[in-house]
Amino acid sequence: MTRPLVAGNWKMNGSRADAQALIAAIRADMQGLDAVDVAVCPSFVLLPVAAQALASSTIALGAQNVCDEDEGAYTGEVSGAMLRECGCRYVIVGHSERRSLYGESDELVARRFMAAKRHGLVPILCVGETLEQRDRGETETVVERQLAAVASAAGSDAFEAAVIAYEPVWAIGTGKTATPEQAQQVHAFIRDYVSRRGGEGVRILYGGSMKPANAADLLAMKDIDGGLIGGASLDADSFLAICRAAAQGA
């Protein structure tokens, strides 16, 4: 049985005080979650205060992106070494907001993925289709293209020790969620793809308007190993309820 992972993507939200308060509220109610890995991914500038607030807890820290290069003249970027120094274990790469709002290509995402691995960070690689692509029946083609960019750049065991997040773009921040069956179908496709490329044990998270009301049904599916949570991760009770649903499904 794969150990579930529930990671909160805080996006560009919160002050230092908000980060401290949210982490304190999560830490205060972690009982019963021994079987689940829990992580929070604040914005870059909140990483140090979050690391402090997480000290000696089992909750891991993650970032929301990483530079594909190691150091030098890359204004606005943050390197894997810097993230490690801040105490990060995970880093999200290829989030659809990065791909669509900031033009990150499959190839750039693949390079960021490799930089994460080079620095000993666990990449959480986001893949997923838009509504138009789903309506045209292209879901698997799009997801395969996004995975293939990583596979061709990172080689035969590209996905070893990585995490994949299936995030249908039409479900992110919209309140629309993939049905458990829709999600399972794509997760099984991803499982098959990555298993043939060093990723037998990878955790495949679902992301897209996951909340306490729908988490248990999604997390009960065979190939859904946890969640990448946006909006609901900003509320400690909602985030913890999702973590508990993952614990029950484990």
Q: Which residues are catalytic?
A: 95, 167
Whole-number minimum distance, CB 205 to ligand PEP, in Å? Answer: 9
* Residue 62 makes contact with ligand PEP by CB under 6 A: no
Q: What is the DSSP string of 136-192?
A: TT-HHHHHHHHHHHHHHHH-TTTTTT-EEEE--GGGTTTS----HHHHHHHHHHHHH
* Residue 208 makes contact with ligand PEP by CB under 6 A: yes
Are residues 148 and 189 in contact, defined by beta-carbon separation less than 8 angstroms? Answer: no
Are residues 44 and 14 in contact, defined by beta-carbon separation less than 8 angstroms? Answer: no
> What is the Cα–Cα distance from 120 to 112, expressed in whole angstroms?
13
* Residue 102 makes contact with ligand PEP by CB under 6 A: no
Q: Is 187 helix (H, G, I), strand (E, B) or coil?
A: helix
Please tell me the count of residues contacting ligand PEP according to CB under 6 A.
13
* Residue 231 makes contact with ligand PEP by CB under 6 A: yes
> What is the Cα–Cα distance from 48 to 123, expressed in whole angstroms?
19
By C-beta, is 9 or 146 nearer to ligand PEP?
Answer: 9
Whole-number minimum distance, CB 71 to ligand PEP, in Å? Answer: 28
Binding to ligand PEP by CB under 6 A, coded x per residue (else -) over 130-169, reads -------------------------------------x--
H helical segments located in 74-179:
80-85, 96-101, 106-118, 131-135, 139-154
By C-beta, is 194 or 229 nearer to ligand PEP?
Answer: 229
* Residue 241 makes contact with ligand PEP by CB under 6 A: no
Give the chain's length: 250
* Backbone torsions φ then ψ of 158, nearest 5 degrees: -50, -40
- Region of 111-119, 145-153, 226-234, 240-248 interacting with ligand PEP (CB under 6 A): 226-234
* Residue 68 makes contact with ligand PEP by CB under 6 A: no
Contacts to ligand PEP by CB under 6 A = 9, 167, 172-173, 207-210, 228-232
